[in-house]
Amino acid sequence: MSSNVQYVVDANGEKTAVILPLDEYREWREDQHVIRVAEETKDEPTRPLSEVLDELRRAGEIDV
């Protein structure tokens, strides 16, 4: 987080909100999305990468 973060305070000096530069806010939102997707898919079955690559090669989708 950069030093460009600003806080909104109430009459008692308590922080009530934060102001972020727009690019940092977008990055934070993207990070939150990635975390949410990882959490939602953590119990889904997995396959070895080699198996996926073989399947893609057979389908002609990659030639690596």
- The predicted-structure confidence for 2-16, as pLDDT tens digits, reads as follows 679 999 999 999 999
- Planar angle of CA 27, 37, 30, nearest 5 degrees: 5
pTM, entire model: 0.60
Give strand ranges (E) for the chain. 6-9, 15-19
Written as one string, the DSSP assignment of 17-57 is: EEE--HHHHHHHHHHHHHHHHHHHHTTS----HHHHHHHHH
pLDDT in tens, 39-59: 999 999 999 999 999 999 999
Report the distance separating Cα 47 and Cα 49, nearest Å: 6
